[in-house]
Amino acid sequence: MIHVFRVLRKMKRIVKKQCCKTRRIENVATEKKKRETKQARIERRKVERNLENSNLKLVFYKASFSNKS
């Protein structure tokens, strides 16, 4: 009888380890995905900022020409 409990305990441990492994793999995958989306967000902001700056430069450039004439 005691032997059966030992085997059961061992099996529980093995199952627990497997669960932890799969969970760890899933966590790594989600972290990677989050990191990629964060990187994409940063890139998008950079592009938007550059666009805004170029638009402002254009406006100032046009304004300076209209003031001269």
pLDDT in tens, 1-59: 667 888 888 888 888 888 777 888 888 888 888 888 888 889 989 988 888 888 777 77
What's the CA gap between 17 and 12, in Å, rounded? 9
Q: Domain count for the chain, please give it.
A: 1
Q: Which pLDDT score is estimated for 30?
A: 86
The answer to the question of residue 9 being in a domain is no
Task: Determine the pLDDT at residue 23.
Answer: 82
Residue 8 lies in a domain: no
Would you say residue 51 lies in a domain? yes
Distance CA 36, CA 41 (A): 9
| Domain assignment of residue 51, given as a range | 16-62
Q: Does 6 reside within a domain?
A: no
**28 belongs to a structural domain:** yes
Residue 16: the pLDDT is 82
